[in-house]
């Protein structure tokens, strides 16, 4: 049985009070779910992280940051240092979300530096990758995904694999204007990703979980989670109500177990 990953990035939506209400409720609702079978993680705003890290049991809900600078200190106005995130006892750093790449101009070369900084500071690096609609239309999706992985993980060793996660989030599938990838398309791209990880890390590459994200919802989550190369779901809008996220997770776990 594969371990299942469920997580959400809260983007720039919830303030501190809303985040704490959400996390507390999600922790209560999911407390009976066996953490040997699933990993649950939430990536709130920076301003919520301090309180969240005190009040939330990270054995239940792992916490992460939405971004991180590759330098420890310096003239980087508006950035957040790995040392500052370390102070909070976080486990995960999300890097290269589509909005970082496409709204704020972050590049694969920056990802390479950020991933290395995340690993050297003891975080799990969650690297987000995905092709744009235009790249897909030109038939370039596989090349784009391979490049994002090969540059983002450049120079890493097989022993680094245990601290890497990947989220495949096609840019055209994300957010209010997004259209979810079909289950077949998602599985096909996850297969490309898994093969590339094997190429980069050998057998160790197999232990890197690859999550699908982009308009995951109660209608497609079960179809996605049973795919052989999909290890988890990285959910936006459909996760931001704790009760609904809990239901989506339970449904997906049941569907996956029934499929075995
Ligand atoms: P969405 O967001 O589920 O709202 O499309 C996904 C994401 O940006 O990770």
CA 157 – ligand 1 centroid, Å:
30
Phi, psi of 144 (to 5 degrees): -65, -45
CA 37 – ligand 1 centroid, Å:
24
Q: Quote the CA–CA distance of 170 and 80 in Å, as a whole number.
A: 26
- The finding on whether 7 has its CB within 6 A of some atom of ligand 1 is no
- The finding on whether 94 has its CB within 6 A of some atom of ligand 1 is no
Q: Quote the CA–CA distance of 123 and 108 in Å, as a whole number.
A: 19
Catalytic residues: 97, 169
The closest-lying atom of ligand 1 relative to the alpha carbon of residue 216 is: 3
CA 173 – ligand 1 centroid, Å:
8
Q: Quote the CA–CA distance of 108 and 119 in Å, as a whole number.
A: 16
Structure tokens at 41: 């993680």
Q: Ligand 1: which of 234, 240, 248 to mutate, judged by most atoms within 8 Å of the beta carbon?
A: 234
State residue 147's pLDDT score: 98
Whether the Cβ atoms of residue 210 and residue 229 lie closer than 8 Å to each other:
yes
CA 80 – ligand 1 centroid, Å:
23
- The finding on whether 169 has its CB within 6 A of some atom of ligand 1 is yes
- The finding on whether 214 has its CB within 6 A of some atom of ligand 1 is yes
Q: Report how far apart, in Å, the C-alpha atoms of 162 and of each of 34, 94, 105, 159, 207 are.
A: 21, 15, 28, 7, 7
Query: In the chain, which stretches have pLDDT less than 50?
Result: none
Nearest alpha carbon, ligand 1 atom 1: 236
**pLDDT tens digits, 133-184:** 999 999 999 999 999 999 999 999 999 999 999 999 999 999 999 999 999 9
State residue 239's pLDDT score: 98
Q: Ligand 1: which of 236, 240, 245 to mutate, judged by most atoms within 8 Å of the beta carbon?
A: 236
CA 140 – ligand 1 centroid, Å:
22
- The finding on whether 146 has its CB within 6 A of some atom of ligand 1 is no
Q: Who contacts 232 (Cβ-Cβ below 8 Å, separation ≥6)?
A: 4, 5, 6, 7, 39, 209, 210, 211, 212, 225
State residue 114's pLDDT score: 98
């Amino acid at each position: 049985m594969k371990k299942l990953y469920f997580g959400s990035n809260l983007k720039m939506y919830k303030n501190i009070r809303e985040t704490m209400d959400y996390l507390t409720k999600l922790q209560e609702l999911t407390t009976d779910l066996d953490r040997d079978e699933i990993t649950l993680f939430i990536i709130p705003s920076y301003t919520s992280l301090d309180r969240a890290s005190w009040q939330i049991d990270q054995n239940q809900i792992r916490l992460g940051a939405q971004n991180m600078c590759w330098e420890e200190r310096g003239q980087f106005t508006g950035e957040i240092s790995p040392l500052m995130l370390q102070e909070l006892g976080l486990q995960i750093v999300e890097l290269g979300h589509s909005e970082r790449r496409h709204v704020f101009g972050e590049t694969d070369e920056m990802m390479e530096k950020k991933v290395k900084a995340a690993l050297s500071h003891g975080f799990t690096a969650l690297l987000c990758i995905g092709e744009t609609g235009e790249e897909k239309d030109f038939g370039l999706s596989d090349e784009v995904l391979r490049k994002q992985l090969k540059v983002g993980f450049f120079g890493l060793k097989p022993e680094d694999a245990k601290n890497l996660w990947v989220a495949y989030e096609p840019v055209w599938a994300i957010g209010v204007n997004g259209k979810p990838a079909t289950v077949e398309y998602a599985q096909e791209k996850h297969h490309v990703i898994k093969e590339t990880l094997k190429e980069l890390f050998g057998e160790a590459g197999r232990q890197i979980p690859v999550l699908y994200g982009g308009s995951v919802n109660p209608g497609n989550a079960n179809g996605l989670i049973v795919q052989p190369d999909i290890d988890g779901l990285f959910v936006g809008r459909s996760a931001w109500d704790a009760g609904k996220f809990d239901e989506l997770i339970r449904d997906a776990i049941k569907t996956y177990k029934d499929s075995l």
